[in-house]
Amino acid sequence: MRSPADMIIIEIDITNACEHSCSNCTRMCGNHKKPFFMSFDTFKRAVDSLDEFPNTVGMIGGEPTMHPEFERFADYMRKKRVPAGVKLAREPIVNMQGYQYKFTGEWTGRNAVLLSSLNNNYYKHFETINDTFTRQLLNDHNNACMHQALLMSRKELDIPDEEWVKKRDACWVQNTWSATITPKGAFFCEVAGALDMLFDGPGGWPIEPGWWRRRPEDFGEQLSWCEICGGCLDVPKRLSSEERDDVTPGLFERLKTIGSPKALQGRCVVHDPMNYDKFKDPTFTGTNDYMAAGGNIRTTPDNRNLYPRSALICPPPEDWREKMKKSAPPDWVAVTDGKETKELENLLSNCILNPGCVYYREGKYVLFNVQARSLRSIARWPQLLPEDIREAYPEDKRIEITDELWGRLVKYLKQIGGKGSRIKLI
């Protein structure tokens, strides 16, 4: 085991709400009758408690972008962990997987990281996320991601104390992943924090400066959660997308007692401890072992959650302000010269665009999103938007689609195969 002080990341669990209920989830999603949402005061204390932590602080769920105060949380994280700001995802993105590895994959040093499943809420907060998080671990779980069973008790499997202690101290979760903070306190291990929340445990250590300096000999009664965790055991693994949990009989009964939806809906596979030798599978050992079966593909091409939804096209001589008032566009608006519809349609259909940026071809079109934070300060719009919409944005969010940039985008699209028109044009 290791001290949280020796970890490259400590996470803050701001919610366990999630659109998924993945098999053997480390946060037990799908087993909670009601999700929690961390208060801002608790989040602030959590971030502040890690002021002297020299490595990465993560925001995780569940799906963290589902928290109703996500933007407020992200703004505070940026203020405390990355005061210089972040300027990611400015140019259009053709390959999100490649972009993630190139720009958001390094975890060393003092950083802020978001862990997300790329649902619709990620798109909603796309601008804030890419202004805040120097690192992002994105996994839409539409891949062959394997999750190891966690709700399997070593005592039910009759693993003797001497063997158990060696396995526990070598657990890949605690030794390669993260300590965490939940609404109930700080924990030496993220799974211990999730089990405490699921089974209404006594809570963790006080969220105060320096809590993360504790050594393994100080973990004390928190180690009791290891007794019911299969993270270090030779237990089954399952595709996350199956959304079923592998459990031992005693823990299955505990799940039913707390009203676990998965247990009550038949989405648990109960393994007979007497057949342990038949079903056991060597435990994971490395940080990304659970991704190996999927070839480490985390953002699958068929996931359209990050792409533009619709676009209001306003060619001359139409007054785009009047048209916006009539059509109430929920997403993108393109003010065009009437000759660039094909390029615009290709851009909108096949590229991931940052809703916080304004994109333009000089003299041909200007493309912006009605949800941009830059537009919120304008009290009455579209009436009071500047004649040149670009003036409403900071310079780093005014992105010109030059011939050279468009050429690169087209080249990438040809390599991966553009999907054609998938956007609703109004």
Query: Could you tell me which residues come within 8 angstroms of residue 337 by beta carbon, excluding any fewer than 6 positions away?
Result: 315, 316, 363, 364, 365
Q: What is the pLDDT of residue 426?
A: 67
Enumerate residue ranges in the chain where pLDDT < 70.
Answer: 105-107, 290-302, 327-329, 340, 379-383, 416-426
What pLDDT is stored for residue 420 in this prediction?
Answer: 55
Q: What is the pLDDT of residue 382?
A: 60
Q: What is the pLDDT of residue 69?
A: 98
DSSP-assigned states of every residue in 297-323:
--S-TT--TTS--EEEEE-TTS-HHHH
pLDDT at 346: 85
Longest pairwise C-alpha distance within the chain = 81
Are 327 and 310 spatial neighbours (Cβ–Cβ below 8 Å)? no
Residue 364 burial class via C-beta count within 10 angstroms: exposed 0-12, middle 13-18, buried 19 and up: middle
DSSP string, 51-101: TT--SEEEEESS-GGGSTTHHHHHHHHHHHH-TT----S-S-BS-HHHHHH
Tokens of 292: 């190996």
- Whole-angstrom Cα distance, residue 321 to residue 317? 12
The pLDDT of residue 46 is 98
- pLDDT reported for residue 249: 98
Tens digit of pLDDT for each residue in 34-48? 999 999 999 999 999
**Block residue for tokens 């649902």:** 119
- The class (CATH top level) of 1-145+156-223+289-302 is alpha beta
Q: Which residue has the tokens 């333009």?
A: 360
Residues of CATH 3.20.20 domain(s) within the chain?
Answer: 1-145+156-223+289-302
What is the pLDDT, as a whole number, of residue 316? 79
Residue 417 confidence (pLDDT): 65
